[in-house]
Amino acid sequence: MRRKLVAGNWKMNGSLASIRGWCETVGSAATDEGGPELVLVPPFPYLAEAAARLTAEGVAVGAQDLSLRDAGAYTGEVSGGMLADVGCSFVLVGHSERRALHGESDAVVADKFAAARRAGLRPVLCIGETLDERETGIAERVIARQVRAVIGQVGIAAFVGAVIAYEPVWAIGTGRTASPQQAQEVHRYVRGIFSAIDANIGNSLQIVYGGSVKAANAAELFAMADIDGGLVGGASLDAAEFLAISRAAA
């Protein structure tokens, strides 16, 4: 049975004080080994602080991005090895905001997934369609392209221990949420892509939903057969709300 996973992506929000308060609240209330995996994904400056406060409590820390290169004269970049060195165990790759605002192509996302693997990090591959792509009936084609670009680059075996985050772009930060049935249809479709190549990897792969997840809708979403938790955005900034979402996944 797949273990649920709930990750809080703070994006470019927070402060040192708010990180410390969040860690104190969530760390002291973290679920036991039978509960979901919990992951905090704060901005880069707070990674080491979060790791120092959360790792002993069983809460993992992830980064929001990484360089596709391992080292060198790349000012402003942060390598996977550096992230691992400060205590990260997860990293997001291909978040819709990186694709849209920074022009990251499927090929770049695939290279970043490979870089995460080289550093021993668990990549969280973000995929999803825009509202226009959904309304024109090409959502599955877009998602298949995003997934297959990475499989083609790194191979199916690289997805052991990885996570897929389905985040419909039209539901991120908009207050709109895919219905549990809509989300389940996409999750089942994504699992089918992997299962057609390797049934064991397809069945064990954690596929989480991201798109205005909050305590009020988490239980219904997480009850779906192929939804293995959530990549939580704005709601994760509130420690109590994040814990309520994690209880829905327990």
> Is 95 marked active-site?
yes
> Is 97 marked active-site?
no
**HSE, side-chain direction, 13 A CA sphere, residue 25:** 16
Q: Out of 37, 95, 133, 241, which one is annotated catalytic?
A: 95
Q: Out of 97, 104, 133, 167, which one is annotated catalytic?
A: 167
Q: Long-range contacts for 191-197 (Cβ within 8 Å, ≥24 apart)?
A: 191/226, 193/144, 193/147, 193/148, 193/151, 194/147, 194/151, 194/156, 194/159, 197/151, 197/156
| Main-chain dihedrals φ then ψ at residue 98, nearest 5 degrees | -70, -40
**What is the C-alpha separation between 250 and 247, in angstroms, rounded?**
5
Nearest to 29 by CA among 247, 249, 248, 231: 247
From residue 60, how far is each of 80, 88, 164, 185 by CA, in Å? Answer: 16, 7, 17, 29
User: Tokens in use for 101?
Assistant: 């605002």
Nearest to 206 by CA among 168, 243, 166, 236: 166
Burial environment of residue 34 by CB neighbours within 10 A (0 to 12, 13 to 18, 19 or more): exposed
Q: State the Cα torsion 117-35-188-153 to the nearest 10°.
A: 0
**HSE, side-chain direction, 13 A CA sphere, residue 203:** 4
Which residues are known to be catalytic? 95, 167
